[in-house]
A = this chain, B = another copy of it.
Amino acid sequence: MADLPQDTLARLRKSSSATVATMLFKHGFSNVAMRGVKALKRVSGVMAGEAFTVRNIPAREDFDVLKAFDGHERLQAKAFDSCPAGQVFVADCRGETYAAFGGGIFLSRLAARGAAGMVSDGAVRDSAEIAGLDLPVFCAGVSPPPSLVLQHAAEFGVPIGCGGVAVYPGDIILGDGDGVVVIPRALADKIADAALEQEHYDRFALEQIRAGKPVFGTYPPDGATQARYQTCLKKSR
């Protein structure tokens, strides 16, 4: 896995999921946002981190019984115990939300390990408790039943799908109030640069719009607007 420049994540956190999605589109990626995956509580700031992936298959009555909790084979616990600090725990729950894949105790474990966040296209539980953690949680719902009813953790650290998007271990996961996008690792640095530049222009454009300028000619800029922006850029340096 290629190294990630040191401040890529920091720069990405200054952007937003919307701007990053547009930059990815410019690079030929249109399927980048997880469907149905939203912030559990109002988000402040932007979550960004490398993906630590977990793959679930449907639970089955022979393996997924309460005594399974006791066994050495219990991969779900190992996954939560293994997520490195600074990474985002991403669980492929096949979009199924009847049962929770993680609640107060599992997500507290992620917080204790210093995970950057938790993302799932399934549900979580103990939502009131989770909201109190210093851990951004993005999921497809909340639901009381335990994971054993629905989910069987089969592997971790492998490529998965989550919310209809491919996630390879080490991809960058970025989430905010609009949702969660996946940035292919190899592109993350380029996207970070492009996104920051775009954010800068967007602030200029917003001022123009507030001042009564039309969208047409401003977003994207026509020649005249582009010239004004360049002037403005020079002044601000």
A contact set with B: CB distance below 8 Å: 16-18, 20-22, 25-26, 28-33, 35, 38, 43, 57-62, 66, 69-70, 74, 77-78, 80-81, 94, 96, 98-100, 103-106, 108-109, 112, 125-128, 142-146, 148-149, 152, 154-155, 158-161, 164-167, 176-179, 181, 184, 186-187, 202, 205-206, 209-210, 212, 214-216, 218-220, 222
Contacts and interface: CB of A to CB of B under 8 A. Distances in A.
Given A66-B25, A77-B216, A105-B215, A166 B94 contact: no
A143 B33 contact: yes
Contact of A214 (B16, B57, B109, B177): B109
Contacts of A16: 126, 144
Q: How many copies does the complex hold?
A: 6
A215 B77 CA distance: 6
A204 to B, nearest CB: 10
Nearest to A92: B57
Given A69-B220, A94-B161, A205 B105 contact: yes
A230 B85 CA distance: 32
A108 B57 CA distance: 29
A151 B5 CA distance: 31
Contact of A78 (B20, B62, B167, B216): B216
A33 to B, nearest CB: 5
Contacts of A164: 58, 96
A129 to B, nearest CB: 8
Contacts of A69: 219-220
Contacts of A165: 58
